[in-house]
C-alpha cells in the first residue's frame, strides 16, 4: 500500500484511436484531496480533440471491427477486461483514492470490485439478449432486431468514476457500440488506466476513446457533436439541462441523465431496532463524505422517537473516524476538492440563517493536512421550505425533519423536485408496502439503506433524470429497434 501511495504518476495523455496523444488545450493539474499535493497532469481536450475522438469512434463503428464481431468474440474480450481489472484491483483502488479521496475500504469494493463485476455481467448478457418474432398473420414474418446505436458519448462524475464508468461503458460495448468517454477533471486517472486495460485485452482501436478536460469545453464539445448518437451522463441537474439543450441545438441525440437526489430516509417509531437503523442510516449519508447520488440526506423521523433517534445517530456520526483515505482505520475519507468543500460549508451558513440547528459537525477539519475534510454533520429543525431540505449538498450533511403521521411522512418524502432513492424503516409490513407504492423514487429501501446489486436497475424520476444504469434494462439505452416485415 505504501509503495502504491508514493508511486509517481506520469503525465496523462488522451486515448484516441488506440494511441496516447497530446491535446491542443493546456494540461490540467491533478490535485489530491488527501493532502493538496499535485499528483500529475491530465490533458485539457479542445473541441477539435473531441472531434478527433468522435471520428475515431465513428470509423470503428462503421467498419464493423467491433459492432459486427460475433457475440461470442465480444464476450471473450469483455471477460478478459474483467479479469484484468480484478488482477489490478489494488493498484486501481489506490490510484483512484489518491485522485478523488474516497476511503479505501469502500473504494476497493465499489470501484475495481464493482467494475469487474459489471463487465462480467454484461459479457454474459451479450449472447443471451435476442430480438423478437412478432405474432403476425401466417403469410408475414415480423422480426424485431436489436441493433447498436452507433457512437455513445459517456460523461462520468468524480465520486465513483470507475464504477459509474463501467455502468455506462460495459453495456454500450456489449451491444456493439463505440464509446467516447469523458471523465470528470477531478477524477480521470482510473478511467485512463481502464482504457489501457481494454486495449491490452483486445478491444479494437477506436472502439473506446477517452478525452479528459473541463466540462465547459471538453464535455460541451461532446454534447454538441452531431456524430454522437446517444449521450449518457451522471452529475448535476444544471449540467443535465445544458446537455439537453446541446442535443436540441445539434442532432437531437438521445440523452440519458442521472441527476442525483435529495433522498428521504424515513424512520417510523414501530421499527423494531432503532439502534441498527441509526447505525445504517449514518453510513447511508456519511460514507464517501456524503458524495453518493443515492445518499439518504433527508432524515424524516416520527416525532415520538425523534429526539432519541437523533441522539443515537449523532453518536454514530461523532464516532466515525475521518481521515487519510488510504489509512485502513479511516471510515470516512476526503471531500473531492476545495470547490466542493466550500460549497458544502456554504450550506451551513444557509442552514443557520434559516433556523436550522447544527447538532454536530458543520466545519472543515484536519486543515493541517492540506487535504479537504469535513466533519459528519447533523442539522435538526429543518423545515420543508428550507434550502437544506430542498437542495442536494453532495457532502456529509444530514437534514432532519420530524413528522407525526404516515400521510405526513409520505407528503414530506415527495416534497422535493428529486426522485432517485428513499428508505423506510418500519416493523409494519403493510405500511412498508404502502410507502414503497407511494414514494416517487427509482429505488426504495426497506429496513436497510444501499446495497442494491447489478441485477436491479438504478434510475430516477422527476428531476433525478431518466433511463437506467445497471441490470439488463440498461441495455435499452444502447440499442435501436429495427423492424423487418417480410412477406412470405
Side by side, the strands of the sheet bearing 421-425 are 357-360, 377-380, 397-403, 298-302, 264-267, 421-425, 443-446
**Dihedral over alpha carbons 34, 35, 41, 46 (to 10 degrees):** 70
In a domain, 460, yes or no: no
Q: β-pairing, 14-16 with 19-21?
A: antiparallel
Residues 201 and 286 in one domain: no
Overall average pLDDT of the 65-91 stretch:
98
Q: Comparing C-alpha atoms, which of 163, 152, 123, 57 is closest to residue 477? A: 152
| pTM of the complete model beyond 0.95 | yes
- Determine contact, residues 477/171, Cβ cutoff 8 Å: yes
Residues 471 and 410 in one domain: no
Confidence of residue 86 (pLDDT cuts 50, 70, 90): very high
Residues 203 and 334 in one domain: no
End-to-end, the C-alpha distance of the chain in Å comes to: 66
412/402 Cα distance (integer angstroms): 10
In a domain, 458, yes or no: no
In a domain, 329, yes or no: yes
96: domain CATH number? 3.40.605.10
Residue-wise pLDDT tens digits, 336-391: 999 999 999 999 999 999 999 999 999 999 999 999 999 999 999 999 999 999 99
pLDDT at 443: 97
In a domain, 459, yes or no: no
Residues 336 and 446 in one domain: yes
Grid cell locating 4: 502504491
pLDDT at 389: 98
In a domain, 168, yes or no: yes
CA angle 35–40–41, rounded 5-degree value: 125
- Domain ranges, residue 400: 264-452
- Determine contact, residues 79/172, Cβ cutoff 8 Å: no
Task: Provide CB contacts within 8 A for 115, sequence distance 6+.
Answer: 85, 162, 163, 165, 166, 194
Query: What is the total count of domains within the chain?
Result: 2
pLDDT at 2: 85
pLDDT at 452: 86
Q: Which of 111, 185, 258, 392 is catalytic?
A: 258
In a domain, 294, yes or no: yes
In a domain, 457, yes or no: no
pLDDT at 25: 85
Is residue 258 annotated as a catalytic residue, yes or no?
yes
pLDDT at 36: 98
Residues 397 and 337 in one domain: yes
Residues 123 and 187 in one domain: yes
Residue 58: in which H helix or E strand, if any? helix 47-63
Residues 237 and 119 in one domain: yes
pLDDT at 82: 98
Overall average pLDDT of the 321-343 stretch:
98
pLDDT at 48: 98
Task: Provide CB contacts within 8 A for 323, sequence distance 6+.
Answer: 329, 330, 332, 333, 366, 373
pLDDT at 98: 98
Confidence of residue 451 (pLDDT cuts 50, 70, 90): confident
306: domain CATH number? 3.40.309.10
Residues 237 and 282 in one domain: no
Q: With DSSP H G I counted as helix, E B as strand and the rest as coil, what are the percentages for the chain, rounded to 5? A: 40, 20, 35
In a domain, 383, yes or no: yes
Q: Within 228-305, where are the H helices?
A: 237-249, 274-286
344/326 Cα distance (integer angstroms): 23
Q: Is the pLDDT of residue 464 over 90?
A: yes
Residues 241 and 377 in one domain: no
Residues 479 and 443 in one domain: no
Residue-wise pLDDT tens digits, 213-272: 999 999 999 999 999 999 999 999 999 999 999 999 999 999 999 998 999 999 999 999
Q: Is the pLDDT of residue 1 over 80?
A: no
Gyration radius of the chain's alpha carbons: 23
Residues 343 and 473 in one domain: no
Arithmetic mean of pLDDT over the chain: 98
Residue-wise pLDDT tens digits, 167-215: 999 999 999 999 999 999 999 999 999 999 999 999 999 999 999 999 9
Residues 471 and 447 in one domain: no
372/469 Cα distance (integer angstroms): 30
Q: β-pairing, 230-234 with 421-425?
A: unpaired
pLDDT > 90: what percent of the chain?
A: 99
- Determine contact, residues 411/385, Cβ cutoff 8 Å: no
Amino acid at each position: 500500500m505504501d509503495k502504491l501511495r508514493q508511486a509517481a504518476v506520469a503525465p496523462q495523455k488522451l486515448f484516441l484511436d488506440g494511441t496516447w496523444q497530446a491535446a491542443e488545450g493546456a494540461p490540467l493539474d491533478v490535485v489530491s484531496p488527501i493532502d493538496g499535493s499535485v499528483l500529475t497532469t491530465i490533458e485539457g481536450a479542445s473541441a477539435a480533440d473531441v472531434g478527433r475522438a468522435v471520428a475515431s469512434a465513428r470509423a470503428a463503428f462503421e467498419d464493423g471491427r467491433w459492432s459486427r464481431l460475433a457475440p461470442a468474440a465480444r464476450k471473450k474480450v469483455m471477460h478478459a477486461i474483467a479479469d484484468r481489472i480484478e488482477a489490478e484491483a489494488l493498484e486501481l483502488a489506490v490510484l483512484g483514492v489518491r485522485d478523488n479521496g474516497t476511503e479505501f475500504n469502500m473504494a476497493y469494493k465499489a470501484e475495481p470490485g464493482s467494475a469487474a463485476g459489471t463487465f462480467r455481467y454484461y459479457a454474459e448478457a451479450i449472447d443471451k439478449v435476442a430480438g423478437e418474432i412478432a405474432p403476425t398473420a401466417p403469410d408475414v414474418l415480423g422480426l424485431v432486431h436489436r441493433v447498436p446505436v452507433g457512437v455513445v458519448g459517456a460523461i462520468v462524475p468524480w465520486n465513483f468514476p470507475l464504477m459509474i464508468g463501467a455502468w455506462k461503458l460495459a453495456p454500450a460495448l456489449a451491444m456493439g457500440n463505440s464509446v467516447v468517454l469523458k471523465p470528470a477533471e477531478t477524477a480521470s486517472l482510473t478511467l485512463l488506466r481502464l482504457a489501457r486495460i481494454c486495449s491490452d485485452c483486445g478491444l479494437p482501436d477506436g472502439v473506446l476513446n477517452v478525452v479528459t478536460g473541463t466540462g465547459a469545453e471538453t464535455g460541451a464539445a461532446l454534447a454538441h457533436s452531431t456524430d454522437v448518437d446517444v449521450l449518457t451522463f451522471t452529475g448535476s441537474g444544471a449540467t443535465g439541462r445544458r446537455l439537453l439543450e446541446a442535443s436540441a441545438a445539434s442532432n437531437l441525440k438521445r440523452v440519458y441523465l442521472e441527476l442525483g437526489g435529495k433522498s428521504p430516509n424515513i424512520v417510523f417509531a414501530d421499527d423494531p431496532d432503532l439502534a441498527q437503523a441509526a447505525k445504517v442510516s449514518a453510513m447511508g449519508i456519511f460514507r464517501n463524505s456524503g458524495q453518493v447520488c443515492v445518499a439518504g440526506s433527508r432524515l424524516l423521523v416520527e416525532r415520538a422517537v425523534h429526539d432519541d433517534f437523533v441522539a443515537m445517530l449523532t453518536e454514530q456520526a461523532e464516532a466515525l473516524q475521518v481521515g487519510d483515505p488510504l489509512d485502513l482505520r479511516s471510515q470516512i475519507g476526503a471531500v473531492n476538492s476545495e470547490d466542493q468543500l466550500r460549497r458544502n460549508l456554504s450550506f451551513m451558513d444557509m442552514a443557520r440563517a434559516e433556523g436550522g440547528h447544527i447538532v454536530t459537525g458543520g466545519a472543515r477539519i484536519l486543515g493541517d493536512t492540506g487535504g479537504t475534510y469535513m466533519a459528519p454533520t447533523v442539522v435538526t429543525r429543518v423545515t420543508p421550505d428550507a434550502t437544506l431540505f430542498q437542495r442536494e449538498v453532495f457532502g456529509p450533511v444530514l437534514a432532519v425533519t420530524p413528522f407525526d403521521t404516515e400521510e405526513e411522512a409520505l407528503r414530506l418524502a415527495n416534497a422535493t423536485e428529486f426522485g432517485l432513492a428513499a428508505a423506510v424503516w418500519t416493523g409494519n409490513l403493510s405500511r412498508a408496502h404502502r410507502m414503497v407504492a407511494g414514494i416517487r423514487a427509482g429505488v426504495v429501501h426497506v429496513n436497510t439503506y444501499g446495497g442494491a446489486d447489478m441485477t436491479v436497475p438504478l434510475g430516477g424520476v422527476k428531476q433525478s433524470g431518466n433511463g437506467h444504469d445497471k441490470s439488463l434494462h440498461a441495455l435499452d439505452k444502447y440499442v435501436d429497434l429495427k423492424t423487418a416485415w417480410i412477406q412470405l
